């Protein structure tokens, strides 16, 4: 079980968190002007590279903040855990 | 029966005699004994039958490595199968039985008839019994009966187990000399230290084969320190991510039943800053024909029985070895009164060591053993230059104890679980840690450093041969799973190369002992068979648990009613008092229906539905998710997460909304009320309350952080009842309230605040049933008072409380979809007939996906109603819809039935379905076919709204 160092709450067990997908996929800022291929890429396609991943986790049994985690999927080592680099997408609709 | 107990010595308490029974016979032992030592003291050598071949087996090891002596401990509900006799501490009245035999341990039918052995070669699951295929169920039944372990108890476990979380700076695993020294050093440096050891006594190997006085001093020093926690009878069974360790503390296993208030076992989730692995080493056996008879045991085990328990495990011993440790052991055994007949040493030595009275046979090996239910002698032979027996050199030696000393295998399990890599060390013929893993240091014998103990140190000068090539018949490698050297060779001949595949094919090392005494020998045999060095053959992956952990400990207190939290609405007691039948809805228990005396479920539900349609009913809807939203940008935020517009929603009004996922599928629905300019209350479906909150937080925090919105879940703060039916307004008007419920004052979709009968309330004129209806929300603590008030005032209007079944019937009659059956994650708003709700003037989550191919085009499943053509037949729920024109081929699936009810309002069965292009096929007749009960009903597609299609009643 991972130990996640929440920037607000301190080190907490993984069971307090919920995984929320890749953190390096930004929602296209203007969906209506996005073509089908780019929208499908955003919706469904993810790299599954060996090594370090940027992930979103929500501290659901804590501060409920969505956090950004850099994690090695081979060793499970957490390289960093921080508030989101905001905004992930550039602008809202 | 001979007494094998010594008159003095050992760690047993001779003043405390203990009576116990094994297979129904009474014996005596002492406090401090294990079941194994007490059985040996009473001369009991045959303790079990083997897994596959039902061969007689005795006590082989001293602790967790024991492959043979598995017993069923205790009786009745506390009975526990497959417990190692070597780890069972004796207590007064202990009852144990042998396993895997019928009709008795001494006379086993399967063994006597040779029923099993020739049917069960390596990989038997995969070949012998697979043909003919139709007979496999019979074969499997036979195998399961013949090749099995103990029986599980039939009754629930009366004991309780608990889980704890712990934190420490240093966790020391193993209480032998290396672990004790490490713990003391760390503790003296000021660290919070935990030390865990499997045994009741700390000291490890030096209790059995060395000088324990130094260990005793260290234990005393550790006990005096505040920053040290010593956990005895505790196994560290797993190493998990980020220095989390799983420990199981056997708090009550050494007692007949746990002390009052104490758990049977305690599971620890321990986060350690770092760990010191001092788990020691386990002795390896040597492999030869019939090396499994009762009386054959590890040399270290024999020493342990003698030194710790003052028991002679035999009278006349032969020691078989390939290293120097046997010579020290022989001296200890002789001093304990065991006649050492011979040391059979595989090695050719120039320098000869003398043991008084013992014959030293260099360059010899044991090639066979004798004895039916116990060892009576061995056959030795001289070895030639290839390591094979010299013909004609065979000799018989009489003995009742054969001690095996094939070197020591470091217990690197937890190091490997931590991701550590192993290296093969030629001098000790073993795999040892190659390099440090972060956060863990391996010390002592576990690290291949045998210097701490004189006995084990001898394990370093050893020779290679562990088995003899020419005598492979019944040369057991894995005694627990009955895997022989021939099985491993067969696997290699059949083409298996990877040690992982050989393991699975032969089941080598897959027993409850996880191959603690067999893995290395298996690798050696495989290495010979493949003609590859052992380092290249490698080792199978070590996974938790190191030693068996009972499910009870893993479950802890989360059993029965405590398996999951129980969510109760504020009115739960009212429903219980009213005799409601309950149905689980997630963690909630919701009233299903409220039967009156003598009523069936159908009668009760029909009555409740008709009460709502004709008079008035009340239903507890406190389980719906409720989210409070504050901030200047809430209206904009709602506009972006719902398909319909919210900016124009006036204060004092509510609006129904549908939320999509970004892939365009319906995610949830509910109503939003505008409480004030910058204050809204949203409701969600019961099941989606949590996910909707997380979804909204995602968009607020990740996608649109610039929006000024604050959200709070308030589900638990409010008690909510819906009052529905044509007389609902009459009911409310009869109450003392400052709220005007009249149509003009409070139109459909309005909300008003005030007090009802002195209770502060928010009243929302929204309807799920399709009738005139009000939802009354009061602070949670007022819930029961509000509910009782509505029931009392409602008597003159014949009010009926109704449950979820009536709710389902009511919404089905109105053609309302719900999340799950209809909106199953693959349905769009247009599929539900809500296309007109989709705003074209704004952006919202999921909108872009609606233009994607497959979502935009035709040929989608639409929400429709179904009625049986005969007007009587119930439509099977979940049935597949099939076109009637089959045209000589299998018909295409035209959709499926999602909800099926009997409509008391229409007095006939109706259903909702998702039908392909259903809205264009109103009036079409289809087959509804349920393959589950093989029923076919002819149905006609209708509009999904069966009752009041114009919605006049809810606006009345």
Contact list in B for residue A76 (CB cut-off 8 A) is 241-242
Q: Which residues of A touch B (CB under 8 A)?
A: 1-3, 14, 18, 20, 27-28, 31-32, 34, 36, 39-40, 43-44, 56, 58, 60, 64-66, 75-76, 78, 84, 86-89, 92-93
- Put residue B514 in one of left, alpha, beta given phi > 0 → left and psi -120 to 50 → alpha: left
A8 CA to chain B: closest CA distance, Å? 15
For residue B193, being part of any structural domain is answered with yes
Whether residues B401 and B440 fall in one domain: no
Whether residues B649 and B776 fall in one domain: yes
For residue B123, being part of any structural domain is answered with yes
A11 CA to chain B: closest CA distance, Å? 11
β-bridge partners, A10? A6
Whether residues B736 and B789 fall in one domain: yes
Q: Is B244 in CB contact (< 8 Å) with chain A?
A: yes
Whole-number Å distance between alpha carbons of B623 and B587: 10
Angle CA(B131)–CA(B132)–CA(B135) in degrees, nearest 5? 105
| Domain that residue B922 falls in | 826-942
Q: Do A93 and B640 touch (CB under 8 A)?
A: yes
The answer to whether the CB of B688 falls within 8 A of the CB of B818 is no
For residue B806, being part of any structural domain is answered with no
Q: Quote the pLDDT of residue A24.
A: 86
What's the CATH number where B373 sits? 3.50.50.60
Q: Which residues of B539-562 are buried (b: 16+ CB within 10 A; e: fewer)?
A: bbebebbbbbbbebbebbeeeeee
CB atoms within 10 A of CB B922: 13
Q: Quote the pLDDT of residue B720.
A: 98
Whether residues B246 and B371 fall in one domain: no
Q: Do B847 and A32 touch (CB under 8 A)?
A: yes
In a 3-state reduction of DSSP, which class is residue B849?
helix
Whole-number Å distance between alpha carbons of B811 and B238: 51
Q: Do A31 and B843 touch (CB under 8 A)?
A: yes
A73 CA to chain B: closest CA distance, Å? 12
The string of pLDDT tens digits covering residues B148-203 is 567 888 899 999 999 999 999 999 999 999 999 999 999 999 999 999 999 999 99
Whether residues B634 and B754 fall in one domain: yes
Can you tell me the ipTM of this complex?
0.93
Q: Quote the pLDDT of residue A92.
A: 34
The string of pLDDT tens digits covering residues B589-628 is 999 999 999 999 999 999 999 999 999 999 999 999 999 9
What's the CATH number where B505 sits? 1.10.10.1100
Quick check: B467 pLDDT over 50?
no
The string of pLDDT tens digits covering residues B740-791 is 999 999 999 999 999 999 999 999 999 999 999 999 999 999 999 999 999 9
User: Which of B241, B847, B849 lies nearest to residue A2, judging by beta carbons?
Assistant: B241
Contact list in A for residue B697 (CB cut-off 8 A) is 58, 64, 66
Contact list in A for residue B847 (CB cut-off 8 A) is 31-32
The string of pLDDT tens digits covering residues B18-44 is 999 999 999 999 999 999 999 999 999
Q: Are strands B625-630 and B710-713 parallel, antiparallel or unpaired?
A: antiparallel
For residue B93, being part of any structural domain is answered with yes
User: Which of A32, A39, A88 lies nearest to residue B703, judging by beta carbons?
Assistant: A88
Average pLDDT value over all residues in chain B: 91
What's the CATH number where B921 sits? 2.40.30.110
For residue B504, being part of any structural domain is answered with yes
User: Which of A28, A44, A92 lies nearest to residue B706, judging by beta carbons?
Assistant: A92
Can you read off the two tokens belonging to residue B398? 């009489």
Quick check: B126 pLDDT over 90?
no
For residue B473, being part of any structural domain is answered with yes
Quick check: B673 pLDDT over 90?
yes
What's the CATH number where B704 sits? 3.30.1360.120
Q: Quote the pLDDT of residue B115.
A: 58
β-bridge partners, B342? B318, B359
Q: Is B838 in CB contact (< 8 Å) with chain A?
A: no
Whole-number Å distance between alpha carbons of B496 and B113: 32
Nearest residue in chain A measured CA to CA from B273: A3
Closest CA to B822 of B876, B852, B861, B850: B861
User: Which of B271, B702, B853 lies nearest to residue A84, judging by beta carbons?
Assistant: B702
Mutate to test the interface with B, among A66, A67, A77, A83 (most CBs of B within 10 A): A66
Q: Do A56 and B843 touch (CB under 8 A)?
A: no
Long-range contacts of B71-74 (CB under 8 A, 24+ apart): B71/B22, B71/B35, B71/B47, B71/B96, B71/B97, B71/B98, B71/B99, B71/B150, B72/B96, B72/B97, B72/B98, B72/B99, B72/B150, B72/B151, B73/B35
* Domain limit, last residue, from B389, B406, B423: B406
Contact list in B for residue A28 (CB cut-off 8 A) is 848
CB atoms within 10 A of CB B668: 24
A66 CA to chain B: closest CA distance, Å? 7
Q: Quote the pLDDT of residue A89.
A: 42
Nearest residue in chain A measured CA to CA from B844: A93
Closest CA to B435 of B418, B451, B450: B418
Whether residues B119 and B172 fall in one domain: no
For residue B233, being part of any structural domain is answered with yes
Length of chain A: 93
Contact list in A for residue B706 (CB cut-off 8 A) is 87, 92
Closest CA to B402 of B343, B358, B466, B335: B343
Whether residues B352 and B423 fall in one domain: no
In this prediction, residues B496-512 reach a mean pLDDT of 92
Q: Are strands B13-22 and B94-98 parallel, antiparallel or unpaired?
A: parallel
Whether residues B296 and B395 fall in one domain: yes
Whether residues B253 and B292 fall in one domain: no
Q: Do B703 and A92 touch (CB under 8 A)?
A: yes
Residue linked to tokens 């499970």 = A76
Can you read off the two tokens belonging to residue B390? 């010299």
Q: Do A58 and B703 touch (CB under 8 A)?
A: no
In this prediction, residues B934-951 reach a mean pLDDT of 95
Q: Is B662 in CB contact (< 8 Å) with chain A?
A: yes
Whether residues B454 and B535 fall in one domain: no
A35 CA to chain B: closest CA distance, Å? 9
Nearest residue in chain B measured CA to CA from A63: B697
Whole-number Å distance between alpha carbons of A3 and B374: 53
The better pLDDT of the pair B900, A88 is held by B900
In a 3-state reduction of DSSP, which class is residue A48?
coil
* Domain limit, last residue, from B532, B547, B562: B547
User: How many domains does chain B fold into?
Assistant: 6
Q: Do B242 and A40 touch (CB under 8 A)?
A: no
For residue B565, being part of any structural domain is answered with no
CA atoms within 13 Å, Cβ hemisphere of B505? 22
β-bridge partners, B377? B370, B398
Size of interface A-B (CB pairs under 8 A): 73
Mutate to test the interface with A, among B417, B437, B703, B857 (most CBs of A within 10 A): B703
In a 3-state reduction of DSSP, which class is residue B625?
strand
Q: What percent of chain B has pLDDT over 90?
A: 77
Whether residues B450 and B485 fall in one domain: no
Report whether the peptide linkage leading into residue B289 is cis, meaning its omega lies within 30 degrees of zero: no
A17 CA to chain B: closest CA distance, Å? 11
* Domain limit, last residue, from B497, B529, B547: B547
Q: Which of residues 342-381 of B touch A (CB under 8 A)?
A: none
Q: Which of residues 679-698 of B touch A (CB under 8 A)?
A: 690, 694, 697-698
pTM of the model: 0.88
Domains of chain A as residue ranges with CATH: 3-26+40-82 (3.30.2270.10)
Quick check: B364 pLDDT over 80?
yes
User: Which of B242, B697, B707 lies nearest to residue A2, judging by beta carbons?
Assistant: B242
Q: Quote the pLDDT of residue B117.
A: 57
Whether residues B361 and B481 fall in one domain: no
Taking the alpha carbons at both ends of chain A, their separation in whole angstroms is 38
The answer to whether the CB of B831 falls within 8 A of the CB of B914 is yes
The string of pLDDT tens digits covering residues A5-44 is 999 999 999 999 999 999 988 899 899 999 999 999 999 9
């Amino acid at each position: 079980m991972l130990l996640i160092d929440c920037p607000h709450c301190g080190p907490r067990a993984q069971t307090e968190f919920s995984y929320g997908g890749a953190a390096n996929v930004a929602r296209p800022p203007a969906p209506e002007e996005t073509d089908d291929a780019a929208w499908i890429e955003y919706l469904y396609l993810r790299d599954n590279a060996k090594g370090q991943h940027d992930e979103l986790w929500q501290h659901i049994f804590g501060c409920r903040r969505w956090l950004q985690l850099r994690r090695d999927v081979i060793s499970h080592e957490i390289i960093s855990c921080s508030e989101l680099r905001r905004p992930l997408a550039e602008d809202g609709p | 029966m001979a007494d094998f107990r010594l008159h003095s010595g050992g760690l047993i308490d001779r003043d405390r005699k203990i009576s116990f029974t094994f297979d129904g016979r009474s014996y005596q032992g002492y406090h401090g004994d294990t079941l194994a030592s007490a059985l040996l003291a009473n001369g009991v050598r045959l303790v079990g039958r083997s897994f596959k071949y039902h061969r007689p087996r005795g006590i082989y090891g001293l602790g967790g490595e024991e492959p043979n002596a598995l017993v069923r401990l205790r009786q009745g509900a506390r009975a526990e199968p497959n417990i190692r006799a070597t780890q069972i501490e004796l207590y007064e009245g202990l009852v144990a039985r042998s396993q895997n035999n019928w009709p008795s341990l001494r006379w086993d039918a399967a063994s006597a008839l040779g029923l099993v052995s020739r049917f069960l070669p390596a990989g038997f699951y995969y070949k012998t019994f697979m043909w003919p295929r139709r007979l496999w169920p019979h074969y499997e039944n036979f195998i399961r009966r013949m090749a099995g372990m103990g029986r599980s108890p039939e009754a629930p476990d009366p004991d309780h187990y608990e889980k704890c979380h712990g934190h420490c700076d240093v966790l020391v695993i193993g209480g032998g000399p290396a672990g004790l020294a490490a713990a003391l050093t760390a503790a003296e440096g000021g660290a919070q230290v935990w030390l865990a050891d499997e045994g009741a006594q700390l000291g490890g190997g030096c209790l059995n084969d060395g000088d324990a006085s130094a260990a005793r001093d260290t234990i005393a020093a550790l006990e005096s320190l505040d920053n040290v926690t010593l956990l005895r009878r505790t196994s560290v069974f797993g190493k998990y991510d980020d220095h989390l360790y799983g420990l199981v503390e056997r708090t009550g296993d050494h007692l007949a039943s746990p002390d009052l208030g104490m758990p049977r076992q305690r599971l620890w989730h321990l986060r350690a800053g770092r760990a010191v692995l001092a788990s020691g080493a386990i002795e390896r056996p040597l492999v030869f024909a019939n090396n499994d008879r009762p009386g054959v045991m590890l040399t270290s085990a024999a020493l342990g029985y003698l030194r710790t328990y003052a028991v002679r495990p035999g009278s006349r011993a032969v020691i078989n070895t390939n290293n120097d440790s046997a010579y020290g052991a022989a001296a200890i055994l002789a001093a304990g009164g065991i006649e050492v007949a011979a040391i059979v040493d595989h090695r050719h030595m120039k320098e000869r060591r003398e043991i008084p009275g013992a014959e030293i046979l260099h360059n010899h090996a044991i090639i066979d053993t004798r004895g039916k239910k116990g060892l009576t002698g061995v056959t030795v032979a001289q070895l030639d230059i290839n390591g094979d027996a010299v013909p004609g050199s065979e000799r018989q030696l009489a003995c009742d104890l054969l001690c095996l000393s094939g070197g020591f295998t470091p217990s690197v399990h937890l190091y490997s679980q931590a991701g550590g890599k192993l290296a093969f060390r030629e001098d000790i013929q073993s795999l040892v840690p190659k390099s440090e893993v972060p956060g863990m240091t391996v010390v002592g014998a576990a690290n291949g450093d045998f210097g701490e103990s004189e006995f084990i140190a001898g394990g370093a000068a050893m020779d290679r041969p562990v088995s003899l090539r020419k005598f492979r018949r019944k040369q057991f490698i894995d005694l627990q799973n009955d895997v022989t050297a021939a099985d491993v060779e067969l696997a290699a001949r059949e083409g298996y190369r990877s040690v992982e595949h050989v393991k699975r094919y032969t089941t080598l090392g897959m027993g409850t002992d996880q191959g603690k005494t067999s893995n290395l020998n298996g690798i050696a045999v495989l290495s010979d068979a493949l003609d590859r060095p052992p380092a290249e053959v490698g080792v199978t992956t070590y996974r938790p648990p190191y030693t068996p952990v009972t499910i009870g400990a893993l479950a802890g207190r989360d059993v029965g009613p405590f398996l999951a939290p129980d969510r109760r609405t504020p009115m739960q007691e009212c429903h219980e008092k009213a005799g409601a039948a309950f149905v689980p809805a997630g963690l909630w228990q919701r009233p299903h229906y409220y039967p009156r005396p003598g009523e069936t479920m159908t009668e009760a539900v029909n009555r409740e539905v008709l009460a709502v349609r004709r008079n008035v009913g009340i239903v507890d809807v406190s389980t719906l998710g409720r989210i409070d939203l504050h901030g200047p940008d809430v209206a904009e935020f709602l506009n972006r997460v719902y398909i319909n517009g919210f900016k124009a929603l006036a204060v004092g009004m509510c609006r129904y909304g549908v939320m999509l996922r970004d892939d365009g599928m319906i995610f949830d629905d509910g109503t939003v009320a505008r409480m004030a300019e910058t204050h809204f209350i949203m409701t969600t479906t019961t099941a989606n309350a949590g996910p909707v909150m997380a979804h909204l937080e995602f968009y607020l925090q990740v996608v649109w952080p610039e929006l000024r919105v604050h959200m709070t879940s308030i589900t638990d703060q409010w008690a909510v009842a819906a009052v529905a039916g044509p007389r609902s307004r009459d009911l409310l008007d009869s109450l003392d309230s400052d709220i005007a419920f009249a149509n003009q004052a409070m139109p459909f979709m309005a909300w008003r605040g005030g007090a009802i009968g002195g209770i502060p309330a928010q009243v929302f004129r929204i309807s799920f049933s399709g009738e005139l209806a009000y939802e009354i929300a009061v602070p949670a603590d007022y819930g029961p008072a509000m509910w009782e008030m509505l029931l009392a005032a409602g008597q003159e209007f014949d009010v009926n409380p109704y449950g979820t079944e009536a709710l389902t019937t009511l919404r089905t009659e109105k053609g309302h979809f719900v999340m799950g059956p209809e909106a199953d994650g693959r349905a769009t708003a247009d599929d539900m007939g809500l296309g007109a709700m989709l705003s074209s003037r704004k952006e919202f989550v999921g909108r872009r996906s609606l233009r994607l191919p497959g979502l935009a085009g035709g040929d989608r499943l639409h929400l429709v109603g179904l009625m049986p053509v005969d007007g009587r037949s119930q439509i099977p729920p979940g049935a597949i819809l099939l076109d009637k024109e089959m045209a000589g081929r299998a018909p295409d699936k035209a959709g499926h039935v999602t909800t099926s009810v009997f409509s008391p309002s229409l007095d006939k069965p109706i259903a909702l379905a998702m039908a392909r292009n259903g809205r264009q096929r109103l009036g079409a007749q289809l087959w509804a076919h349920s393959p589950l009960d093989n029923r076919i009903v002819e149905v006609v597609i209708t509009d999904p709204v069966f009752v009041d299609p114009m919605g006049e009643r809810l606006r009345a």
